[in-house]
Amino acid sequence: MNYTLNQLRVFLKVAQTLSVTKAAEELHLTQPAVSIQLKNFQDQFEVPLIEVINKKIYVTDFGKEIVEAADKILSEVYAINYKMHAHKGQLTGKLKLSVVSTGKYIAPYFIADFIKQHSGIELLMDVTNKAQVVASLEKNEVDFSLVSVLPENLKIDKVELMQNKLFVVGNSEVSYEASRYDKSIFETIPLIYREPGSGTRHVMEKFIIQNSLPVLKKMELTSNEAVKQAVIAGLGYSIMPLIGIKNELVNQQLHIIPVEGFPITSTWTLIWLKDKKLSPVANAYLNYLKKEKQNIINVKFAWFENY
């Protein structure tokens, strides 16, 4: 046996995601690089670790045993690294966050300087929709979650970060001349929705129901980026978070349609399970955030106040 730690990492990630593509994305490697490392690792065993059936990856029973062993080995390697940094008086460990998809536009700014100050910290950040973010928090798989809609059935503690604004947006093919439109405009513009489980979808539908709006649902897409590109292409209109369309507004690919009742506002909030015993890294990050959040907002998001 002559396997490497990198091969262990690749195999473990493929086994966890059941996808070479996803494993490559999460490891920041190319797909061919992942495939080569996976093959080199498999070649050291006479028994198959994974099987590919109808283009789907399955982990064999023997592969599951190797997954468990690989996880333990890599955990011990991480522990050695953390102990080395701790011996030098450095803050060490993992910081695990789950972030709703539109939160990817703000989360890095609230984390970057903290990570730069503590080189011994490994950041694990999962970006997905609200339903999956809340599920990972409920299972205690992460330290914190970043959401714009608070979960209703979990006991949580929280730190509010900044306001989230949602506007009606369209592309530049049609010119809207009025300074403000009433809500009857929704009778004439087809709307593009996010998928169920999305925080943006939740806020959007809540507003529509509360105002009894006769909307024309055009289509449903599974990411904020997909919705944005569909609107730019002229497939319809949408209600979108301002935070994710800054460049498109500046480039005039999108424009805000001034409609009565908008912007809809919510609050970007960092949440964690109530009574959770936070790790030293998580506690340090929380203290950093409480101290620095307003400065981050002032420096990185000054443009936000102009809308």
pLDDT value, residue 26:
84
| DSSP H helical ranges for the chain | 5-17, 20-27, 31-42, 61-87, 112-117, 130-138, 199-210, 224-232, 246-250, 280-300
Nearest to 163 by CA among 264, 266, 243, 239: 266
Three-class secondary structure of residue 217 per DSSP: strand
Other Cβ atoms within 10 Å of 83 Cβ, number: 11
What pTM does this model have?
Answer: 0.70
Q: Which amino acid is at 175?
A: S
Question: What pLDDT score was predicted for residue 87?
Answer: 57
Between CA 244 and CA 226 the distance in angstroms is 12
User: Residue 217 in contact with residue 237, Cβ under 8 Å?
Assistant: no
The per-residue pLDDT for 88 is 62
Residue 236 phi, psi dihedral angles, 5° rounding:
160, -165
Count of beta carbons in the 10 Å neighbourhood of residue 55: 5
The 10 Å Cβ neighbour count of residue 175 is: 7
Cα–Cα separations (whole angstroms), residue 300 to 171, 202, 230, 306? 26, 27, 28, 13
**How would you write 143-175 as a 3-class SS string?**
CEEEECCCCCCCCEEEEEEEEEEEEEEEECCCC
Q: Fill in the amino acid letter for 25.
A: E
d(CA 16, CA 10): 10
CB of 117 closer than 8 Å to CB of 85: no
Q: pLDDT by residue for the chain (307 residues), tens digit each?
A: 688 988 988 999 999 899 998 888 888 889 899 999 999 999 999 899 999 898 889 999 999 999 999 888 887 777 676 666 655 666 788 899 999 988 999 999 999 999 999 888 889 999 888 888 999 999 898 999 999 989 988 999 999 999 999 999 999 887 777 778 888 888 888 999 988 888 888 888 888 888 888 888 778 898 888 999 999 999 999 999 999 999 999 999 999 999 998 999 999 999 999 989 888 889 999 999 999 999 999 999 998 888 8
